[in-house]
Structure formats: C-alpha cells, structure tokens
Amino acid sequence: MKPINYLQIIKTTDAELKGFSNLSDEVKNKILPLFELTRSRTTKIVPEGSIHRRLENIKDAVGDIPFILDLTSHEDLMNYEIEELLDDTGGFSAWTDFIDNLNLKQVIPAIHVYQDGDPNDIVRQVRVLSSSNEKVAFRISSNDAELEFYLRNIKRGLAADSQLILIFDAEYISEWDWPKKKNELEQKILFAQRYIPDASISVCGSSFPKSVKDASSGKDDYGKLPIWEWFIFNELKALYPNIIYGDYASVHPLRYQTGGGGWVPRIDYPLEDNIIYYRYRRDDGSYPRCAAELVDDPDFDGLSCWGTEQIYSALSGEPNGKSPSFWIAVRLNIHITRKALRLC
C-alpha cells in the first residue's frame, strides 16, 4: 500500500460526496479517505434510507483508490441497517460478514468496540478482519479514557501490528480549547507508540464551526477562520515526525437538521492556515457578490480545481448551485485539493 500522508473523515452526505467526486484523479491518488457510512436520503419508497445506495455512491466517488470504511454513530444519520452492523454478537459477525461480502480489495475496514463489551468479541472481529485485509483501522476520540483496554484486545487479534491505522479524533476544535485538544492527542500518540509501535498514527479534528459567526473572527459579511487542526498537527509533527495529518475536510464534525430558509448565501475559500468567507443576503448580492468579493480578495490565489471553477462560474450571476449544500461541496473540494498538494 502507498504511504499515507493525508486522511479525511467524510460522512457520506450528498454534499460531501459531491465535493469528493469532483476531485481530480491526481488528488484522489494522493489521499486516504475514511468514509463514515450513513443512510441515504429518505424517500417515500425508502423511508429509512439505504446504506447500499450510499455504498454505491462511495464506489462511484473513489474509483480504485483505497479507502477506510466506517459506520456513523450519529443517530440522525443512522437506520436499522447500521444498527444491525454495529451488533457485537459473534465478534461483530454482521460487520465482518458485510466487509467480506463487499469483495473490494481496496477497503480498509474500521474496527468497532464497546466499552462494556466482551473483549473476546473485539479479538475475534480483529482476527477476522486482519486475516483478509491488508490494513485495518481504529478510530477513537482523543478524550476516550479506555485506549489501553481497546488496544490490548485489538493487538491480540492482529495478524501483524503494522496492519493497524490508529486515528485519534479530536472532533470539534475551537479557538478556546485547541491547546487542551493538542495535549489529549499527544497523550494518545505517546501511549500508542509504546503499546503498538509499528502502527500508523493519524491525528484528526475539525475547527470549522457550526456557524461562522460562532468564531471571534467571524463577522456578518466576511471572516477568516483559523484551521486549528493544522496548527496542532504541525506542532505535534515537530515532535513525532511519523504522524499523519487528518481532518474532516473543512466540515463541522456534527450534523444538524436544517430547515426553513433562514440561511444566508456564503462562499468559503480554504487557504493553508485559514478559511476565508464572504456572506451576503439574497437581496444584497447573494452568491455572485460573494464570488466577486472573494476573487478580489488579496488572499485568493485561484487554486486549480473544480471548487474554484464554481466560484468563477458564480461571477456570471448564475451560480451552478444556490443551496448551502452545494457550497459545502465546493469548500470540501478546494480544501482537500490544497492539503493533498501540500502534504503528498
């Protein structure tokens, strides 16, 4: 398997899959996405949504590149199919059988654990997954206190310690708690390096807020949002050179039900250290004005990718998308492109 330099946690919502699908082949071949399998959009025919539809969306988006397959833990994105796959009966046999039946050699399956579960179910799951896959992945929150319990039992099931990709997830990182998150991540790195020194280690998180106005640097019409996960990574990388950068591809880690028409048109443009945005109401220029202001911004560098093309298209007065989800796809596409070209 190629060296891992950049890992993205991506929920399989329409917006994120659209942004990922439109990445260039050059960028896709440089990165390792972790897709968090969610149900598809609900319809009258499929009122609970379908993970199989989402799986087909993932296959179409990734092509032949390796990817980690995980399951969502967010209730509003789950359905009965995901709940069944998370059943730990028989060493998570529903999950291991599901992975086996995919018959996709490029899949890196995620390991699932329960704090109060039977350790033998963890061992059995890992033994099955590691015997039939080149790599396996384990993702854990940076503030989870049960790392030793999990790693002890994962290690018992591995065919080789080097198969394991450990993902320490700081989740949402704010300007107020980023030093605490950095410390949590460092403690996890130190423990993992002692316990399973041959494992690959990635540190992940997202500082993109639920609302851009939640950040102290976020104003009504313009803002410049620091990418705190990038600052944390660079400080930790100086101490632990082999760690892998990870993030949520510039998307907030949690999903919220959206409704009504109270949103304000906004275009975001990810840079290396910050994300700048312009935001104008529909009666004050909307997306075309956002695009015009952004293109005139001294920080705008016209990065070559699909996302930037959509910003240029909006200058005409007829943007290709007029919903927030479309512009999430644009932001994700620009962010991943920039980070891939920087890191890989």
Q: Which domains does the chain have, with CATH numbers?
A: 6-211+225-260 (3.20.20)
Residue type, 17: L
**Model confidence at 40, in pLDDT bands (50, 70, 90)?**
low
Q: Which residues of 168-191 are buried (b: 16+ CB within 10 A; e: fewer)?
A: bbbbbbeeeebeebbebbbebbee
Yes or no: say if 205 and 228 are a contact pair by the CB < 8 Å rule: yes
Edge-to-edge strands, sheet with 274-279: 222-226, 274-279, 266-270
pLDDT at residue 86 is higher than 50? yes
**Model confidence at 48, in pLDDT bands (50, 70, 90)?**
very low
**137-149 pLDDT, tens per residue?**
999 999 999 999 9
> What pLDDT, on the 0 to 100 scale, is given for residue 76?
64
Look over the chain and give the mean of its residue pLDDT values, rounded to a whole number.
Answer: 92
Reduced to 3 states, what is the DSSP secondary structure of residue 244? strand
- 182 conformational bin, left if phi > 0, alpha if psi -120 to 50, beta if neither: alpha
| pTM exceeds 0.85 | yes
pLDDT at residue 39 is higher than 60? yes
**Model confidence at 75, in pLDDT bands (50, 70, 90)?**
low
Helix locations, the chain, DSSP H: 14-21, 25-28, 51-62, 80-85, 89-102, 119-132, 147-157, 178-195, 228-239, 286-296, 306-314, 324-343
Reduced to 3 states, what is the DSSP secondary structure of residue 220? coil
> What pLDDT, on the 0 to 100 scale, is given for residue 300?
98
Residue 182: CB partners within 8 Å, gap ≥ 6? 232, 235, 236
Yes or no: say if 140 and 147 are a contact pair by the CB < 8 Å rule: yes
Reduced to 3 states, what is the DSSP secondary structure of residue 235? helix
Reduced to 3 states, what is the DSSP secondary structure of residue 248? coil
> What pLDDT, on the 0 to 100 scale, is given for residue 2?
82
**Of 74-88, 120-134, 200-214, where does mean pLDDT reach its minimum?**
74-88
